[in-house]
A and B are shown apart, each in its own frame.
Chain A
Amino acid sequence: MFYNEVGQFKTSYRADQALFPIRQDLIALGVFLIFLYAVVPFTFNNFWLNTVVIPTLIFGVATIGLNILTGYAGQLSFGTGAFMGVGAYTAFKLTTYFPEINIVILILTSGVTSAAIGLFFGIPSLRIKGLYLAVATLAAQFFLEWVFIQMHWLNNYSESGAIVAPTRTLFGVAITGPSATASARYLVVLSIVVLLTWIAANLVRGRFGRSWRAVRDMDIAAELIGISLFGAKLRAFAVSSFYCGVSGAMLVFFLYGAAEPNVFDINRSFSILFMVIIGGLGSIYGSFLGAAFIWNLPIIIRLIPLALGLRVEPVYTEFLTSMIEGALIISVLIVEPRGFARLWQIAREKLRLWPFPY
């Protein structure tokens, strides 16, 4: 009833092609953004910001990145972790050489390096697809991880082999390094995430997004229509790696503060892939739902026994978490193979007709 678009007439194609053609969606988004900007930073404590909110946002960006490549363009990749690493190491080296340039600009720039590397490893996609391409991207994962470990120049020859985010400021407030508050980091992350999400939504609805989906759905027909398969695929690799790179850089600078190469290992690639699948292939907001689910599930599972006052031996916690997590992922996929995005879409369709069943 309250979610009813009756009376909202579209009188131009511009209005019909808007990102949120239904007025209620726009209002809901506005309220949600105000909540994120005005309420969250002042009411959520450091624990919630550091363990739940900031990581969900950061991994959401990597998930959008992989979703563009896999969900929209149909190219399977196992190299997400490595591309995130490229962004992180580039941002670290850039801020070492140019400490006077704002870190936010450097983080976005480091995404460009990641895009270039992604472009290179995307070249095999012209010849191979599906699982074969996935194996080729696996090579990128292992090669880049090896580079992160072996090239000490990348970590400024630090003894631990880790990169440590130095203190950098924005408008005089520390946003990275040990002295940055969780709220300050959160606000910067949120702003970058909002910008990148908006850009991703724009890209996928325009001609580039259509060419990606066309290649995904029927590459032969796409080619005969005049879409350059090579161009579309490489563009998807570049844009995807850009998002992954920025996400990786944010992970080190705004969340962990320091990182070793194993932060960007194959497990990272898989967990981002799970986020994409659980969230829904080919959905921007689904990416955040997937990231929130996969990242926060183990945290919630660990909190449940505490909340119930049960004592679980630490040795078992890890096993239990993995088992419950796995079972939940499988049940979500059985309920809706197309992920949370599809569930949300069904809910919306029902809501539009509510209180009538059809």
Chain B
Amino acid sequence: MSNPENVKNPPLLRVDDIVLSFGGIHAIKGVSFDIIKGEIRAVIGPNGAGKTAMLNVINGFYKPDSGSITFKGTTYSSVKPHTAASEGIARTFQNVALFHGMSTLDNIMTGRTLKMKTSLFWHLFHWGPAENEELANRAVVEEIIDFLEIQHIRHTPVGKLPFGLQKRVELGRALAAEPLMLLLDEPMSGMNVEEKEDMSRFILNANEQLGTTIVLIEHDMGVVMDLSDRIVVMDRGLKIADGIPEKIKTNKAVIDAYLGTTHQEHASA
């Protein structure tokens, strides 16, 4: 892990004053923060705080009403999902969004979509460039399968897998794109302690070995405090705290938000 205190790199991504509403419901009310290359950045907050909505804005699934997103030095008012993917942002979903009818291998291979370019012509015969490309990408995918220790379920349709393994396959599919930045939406929900430990190990390895910048939404505070370099805390669409885990732990506003004692004060703050 990089030392959080002396982060001098320019931010990989910055969101400025993002506002997002659905009809009369204001999901995000002007949130700004930055994500530095190579860090693990956690976004936490009570349910309905706007965490997932924020990820959806970052990878282009939602278009914000106002505000801007700066990624790799370029400022956008909104991104298209395809652009976000090709610029190197991958993600996993709160409710696993795998392709249930396909095998683990095919799911992770699908993650390589943007790396594959051969034309339809060669694929008609599965020959020449098409076959070489399939094999080269298969080799990369097999490395990810090894990395995530899911060799035994390589050919199993993911619909048949238990939830914990599905989450792992989904992480594999996101990693297959070799993303600069990986958005993980509650990668450990519904897992037991052992599975959480495995998943934490994979996240740390991805961060350290592959250098992937990670944005993590998670409710398990133990995991969040241990894994992340810096934490953004959101509540009711607002950012209420931002900093290193040690500071967040003792932040009065954060404790209040989680215990729900003095909501009125902070909503107006």
Q: Quick one: closest A residue to B142, CB to CB?
A: A13
A213-247: which have CB < 8 Å to B?
213-214, 216-218, 220-228, 235
Which residues of the partner chain A approach B97 to less than 8 Å between Cβ atoms? Answer: 218, 220-221
Q: B139's closest neighbor in chain A, by CB?
A: A13
Q: Mind listing 13 A-B residue pairs with CB under 8 Å?
A: A13-B135, A202-B125, A203-B123, A205-B126, A207-B109, A211-B110, A214-B102, A220-B97, A224-B84, A224-B91, A226-B113, A228-B82, A282-B101
CB atoms of B113 and A202 under 8 A apart: no
Contacts of A223 in B (CB 8 A): 81-82
Complex Cα gap A235–B90 (Å) = 25
A225: chain B residues within 8 A (beta carbon): 85, 90, 110-111, 113-114, 173, 177
With the chains together, A225 CA to B85 CA distance in Å? 6
- Residues of chain B within 8 A of A208, CB atoms compared: 120, 123
- Asked if residues B100 and A224 are in contact (CB atoms below 8 Å), the reply is no
- B223 interfacial by beta-carbon distance below 8 Å: no
Select from chain A the residue with minimum beta-carbon distance to B136.
Answer: A13
Whether B221 is near chain A, meaning CB under 8 Å from some CB there, is no
Interface size on B, residues (CB 8 A): 40
Q: In whole Å, how far is B160's beta carbon from the nearest beta carbon of chain A? A: 13
Contacts of B106 in A (CB 8 A): 210, 213
Among A19, A207, A213, A228, the most chain B Cβ lie within 10 Å of the Cβ of A207
Known: A211-B110, A226-B114. A218 touches B123 (CB 8 A): no
CB distance A206 to B123 under 8 Å?
Answer: yes
Taking CB as reference atom, which chain B residue is nearest A224?
A: B81
Q: Does A127 contact B (CB under 8 A)?
A: no
B-facing mask of A10-21, CB < 8 A → 1, else 0?
Answer: 000110010100
- Shortest A118–chain B CB gap in Å is 15
**Bound complex: CA of A96 vs CA of B189, how far in Å?**
66
How many angstroms between the C-alpha atoms of A207 and B102 in the bound complex? 13
Q: A210-B109, A227-B113 are in contact. Are A17 and B85 (CB under 8 A)?
A: no
For residue A199, CB closer than 8 A to chain B, the reply is: yes
Is the beta-carbon distance between B113 and A211 smaller than 8 angstroms?
A: yes
Q: Across the interface, which residues of A come within 8 angstroms of B61, CB to CB?
A: 220, 224
> Is residue B231 within 8 Å, beta carbon to beta carbon, of the partner chain?
no
How far is B177's CA from A227's CA once the two chains are assembled, in angstroms?
Answer: 12
Q: Which of B98, B123, B135 contacts A202 (CB 8 A)?
A: B123
Residues from chain A with a CB closer than 8 A to the CB of B114 are 225-226
Q: Which residues 7-50 in B have Cβ within 8 Å of A in the complex? A: none
Q: With a CB–CB cut-off of 8 A, which chain A residues contact B126?
A: 19, 202, 205-206
Top 6 closest pairs, chain A to chain B, by CB: A226-B85, A217-B99, A202-B126, A221-B97, A226-B114, A206-B123
CA distance A265 to B111 in the complex (A): 41
What 1/0 flags go to B104-126 for Cβ under 8 Å of A?
A: 00100111011010101001111
Cα separation A218 to B173 with both chains bound (whole Å): 14
Residue pair B110, A210 in contact (C-beta under 8 Å): yes
Q: Does B161 contact A (CB under 8 A)?
A: no
Q: Give Cα A216 to B101, complex, Å.
A: 9
Which parts of B121-135 form the interface with A (CB within 8 Å)?
123-126, 130-131, 133-135
Q: Are B177 and A207 in contact (CB under 8 A)?
A: no
- Taking CB atoms, residues of chain A closer than 8 Å to B125 are 199, 202
A226/B101 in contact, CB under 8 A: no
On chain B, the residues within 8 Å of A228 by CB distance are 82
Say yes or no: is B163 at the interface (Cβ < 8 Å to chain A): no
Chain A residues near B101 (CB-CB < 8 A): 213, 216-217, 282
A151-174 CB contact bits vs B (8 Å, 1 = yes)? Answer: 000000000000000000000000
Q: Is the Cβ of A210 less than 8 Å from the Cβ of B102?
A: yes
Complex Cα distance, B115 from A210, in Å, reads 14
Contact of B99 among A13, A14, A214 (CB under 8 A): A214
* A348 → chain B closest CB, angstroms: 14
Given A207-B123, A213-B99, A214-B99: A17 touches B177 (CB 8 Å cut-off): no
Contact pick for B135, options A17, A199, A203, A282, CB 8 Å: A17
Q: 19 additional contacts, CB 8 Å, given A207-B133, A217-B100?
A: A19-B126, A199-B125, A202-B123, A205-B126, A206-B126, A207-B113, A207-B118, A207-B134, A213-B99, A214-B102, A216-B99, A218-B100, A220-B97, A221-B97, A222-B110, A223-B82, A224-B61, A225-B113, A227-B110
Min Cβ gap B240→A in Å is: 28
Residue of A nearest to B111 (CB): A225
In A50-81, the 8 Å CB interface with B consists of: none
B263 within 8 A of A: no
Q: Does B52 contact A (CB under 8 A)?
A: no
Find the B residue at minimum CB distance from A16. B138
Q: Does B59 contact A (CB under 8 A)?
A: yes
Q: List, in ascending order, chain B residues with CB within 8 A of A226's CB.
A: 82, 85-86, 113-114, 177
The yes or no answer to B202 lying at the interface (CB within 8 A) is: no
